[in-house]
Structure 1
């Protein structure tokens, strides 16, 4: 009888202990779930390091780009890039250069679900770009024909080296952007993005096609182009949400 009583008391004690442990665990999990991780909303500014690096290593290029975005919701960011570029294009029979200023404005959508207090991005976005630039035909080798069908067109050995410049040209285009941003230290981000560009309007200098437009890069025959950047930016948080 005593053994049965002891066994019943032991079972009751174990049941009470198990229930009490489950309640404590549930309270702990509930407390953890109730913690709200806030992240910074504000203005993020920085530079495109790829253009600075290219300016250092390539003497035919000079450029500077300032990048920025502003967070307006948990997923959406207003974004813009503004800069200056000067580039010399070398082809078989021509050498031309383009220099001027540009701006690209648009928005990014973050598709990445961050853990806890992380603030990283894998985003897609769009831009509308505008450039105002000067285009110069630095030198060219004209093709020569005698008018005879038996003598093919040829290029003389001496190119024309008198520059021909047209100023105040404009270009406009649309961009589709894909990129990533990672927070390496508090409020400091490194990022990389690539873009596909479509010309909507591009002015040419008289008698010569624009081969390179600031902010657009090389203009392909199809009226499209590609771009990329590698950025270092810093977030100035105005509020935490």
Structure 2
């Protein structure tokens, strides 16, 4: 089966280091990522349905591309020699900085299932493993989140994801169901 996915995501995150009850001086950085993605690929059904069922257990692959921007809302400097201010960070900037025209592409391996819950409505879940092929980053701020790929970590091009779906199958044509003849035993 051919598979296509597209989406638009916005993710904001703050990194707080410090004590159990953090104060404003414990904020290391705060950023927001906005962007769109498209994924194209194939799914291979590995499940033989019983008569009249349309459930799918699949293994698939995708090529994905994302175009996005990041805004660094505020940051502080991490100082490993915290002699003068042992409980906080040196202040950086609270002026938002926009980093635009960023993009990334990756390959994904997908394993999932779709189960018909009633009349052409399906509930699905899938697990994904992605590998970044190309990535355009800003010189001043690394990509920490890529829409469609999820979190990006230092030193690794791999990422994982989980999703669930509620979908409707558009019946463009109808197959006539022919009952299987029973074999005499």
Q: TM-score, normalised by structure 1?
A: 0.62
Q: Is the 8 A contact 1:89 1:211 kept in 2?
A: no
- 1:167 paired residue among 83, 100, 118: 100
Counterpart for residue 124 of structure 1:
59
Q: 1 or 2, which has the higher strand percentage?
A: 2
- 1:190 paired with 2:123, answer yes
Q: TM-score, normalised by structure 2?
A: 0.80
After the TM superposition, which of the residue ranges 188-197 and 231-240 deviates more from structure 2?
A: 231-240
Q: 1 or 2, which has the higher helix percentage?
A: 1
Q: Segments of 4+ in structure 1 off by > 2 A?
A: 143-146, 154-159
Counterpart for residue 206 of structure 1:
139
- 1:138 paired with 2:62, answer no
Structure 2's unaligned 5+ residue stretches are 17-27, 176-185
The residue matched to 1:237 in structure 2 has which SS?
coil
> What's the C-alpha RMSD, in Å, of the aligned pairs?
2.1
TM-fit CA distance, 1:188: 1.1
TM-fit CA distance, 1:187: 1.1
TM-fit CA distance, 1:156: 3.6
Structure 1's unaligned 5+ residue stretches are 1-76
Q: Distance in 2 between matches of 1:185 and 1:137?
A: 45
- List per-residue Cα deviations over 1:107-154 (Å, max 9, x = no partner): 1001001011111011000111101101111111124589xxxx79x8
What number of residue pairs does the alignment pair up? 161
Q: Distance in 2 between matches of 1:171 and 1:124?
A: 23
Q: Distance in 2 between matches of 1:143 and 1:158?
A: 9
TM-fit CA distance, 1:239: 2.2
